[in-house]
Amino acid sequence: MRIASVGTAYPPHRYSQPVIAEALRGRWEHKMEEPRLLTRLFANCGVDFRHTVFPLENYPALDTFEKTNNAWIKAAVDLGQQAICRALDHAEISPEDIGAIFFASVTGISSPTVDARLINRLPFSVNVKRTPIFGLGCVAGAAGISRASDYVRAFPDQYALLLSVELCSLTWQDDDQSIANLISCGLFGDGAAAVVIAGSETPFAKRNKGPRVLATRSTFYRNTERVMGWDIVNTGFRIVLSPDVPKVVEENLLGNVEGFLADNNLTRDDISTYIFHSGGPKVLEAMQKSLGLPADALAPSWKSLREVGNLSAASVLAVLEDYLKVHPGKPGTYSILAAMGPAFCSELVLLQW
């Protein structure tokens, strides 16, 4: 089974980090003892630009969970359609070819789900299998690839589609000026990504294009519920973001990777590239330190963070797109794709080019 393609899509409104900081400072400075703190925190997020669903001046009117969630549904369907069409075009297949859809998001909810709404827009089969995933947060991009790969392993003549849409600007909380919320508002961006996974007996896989998915590994860290996630409140999603996130990464990632590779008769010396979720400067630094990587080893992840921010589940998929289009591995070489997120947990995917 192979990763056939990635397609990304971003909202039309793109702002520099200082412009976003100034807009939020104007909204919140009367609620903060030290408004300049917001500007300093934003400057340290490693983000130069981000996309937002709406112009910045429209956000104060989104003052209830109902308004923000309704906006999320409409925008998620629109962006999701764009990302899917691009991924299908890159793979040179049509919606009718897809046997299963996996949809991941943690920034909004709907029933029927976004994937169902997209079936009414695009000519997917009425028998396509659907698996909506909510709550995995940043790890869901890698976990979604794993679950889609599980599907085509069972049905090798089929294609699976993973879609992630994350509209993080719709979770900004006007009544929360905690450090966690300020960092979250300075780090996360809006965007969508779709990935096509081709079963080993599909025409695409038989052309030996795209990296093979060799193995996957999920690891759950017990009793870490308050490291990352959401508290669901009257106004929507309130961030849970512990300063211990980099510590948890640094303490666990090396053992996870080495154990995973050993079970596949490999070592870290066999890995040519690491395709990592752009979690933020401290998270990327913790990943580099844990694995003893040189400073440029995660350059595409740092680039994605600078250009679009942390896209939650879609982030690692955007980084994967960069590897497929700009930095593909040499034939026969190995890569690790990885993300970490709420629970706390990690997801590793072993690829061979």
Residues 134 and 221 in one domain: no
Whether the upstream peptide bond of residue 112 has omega within 30° of 0, thus cis, is yes
Catalytic position from the list 45, 138, 185, 345: 138
| The total number of structural domains that make up the chain | 2
The range of the structural domain enclosing residue 268 comes to: 212-352
Query: Among 189, 206, 223, where does a domain finish?
Result: 206
Q: What is the pTM of this model?
A: 0.96
Residue 130 dihedral angles phi and psi, to the nearest 5°? -120, 135
CATH of the domain at 314: 3.40.47.10
Catalytic-residue membership of 45: no
Q: Is 350 helix (H, G, I), strand (E, B) or coil?
A: strand
- Alpha carbon separation from 270 to 147, 333, 350, 352 (Å, rounded): 25, 8, 11, 11
Burial-class residue 144 by CB neighbours within 10 Å (0-12, 13-18, 19+).
Answer: buried
Handedness of CA 26, 74, 77, 132 (dihedral sign): positive
Residues 200 and 68 in one domain: yes
Average pLDDT per run of 10 along the chain, which is 353 residues long?
Answer: 98 98 94 90 97 97 96 98 98 98 98 97 98 97 98 98 98 94 96 98 93 98 95 94 94 97 98 97 97 95 98 98 95 98 96 98
Query: Among 179, 206, 233, where does a domain finish?
Result: 206
Residues 69 and 166 in one domain: yes
Q: What is the per-residue DSSP string for 125-152?
A: -TT-EEEEEES-GGGHHHHHHHHHHHHH
pLDDT at 129 (0 to 100): 98
Helix (H) or strand (E) holding 205: helix 203-206
For the chain, how long is the longest CA-to-CA vector?
Answer: 62
**Spatial CB neighbours of 176, under 8 Å, sequence gap ≥ 6:** 238, 239
pLDDT at 21 (0 to 100): 97
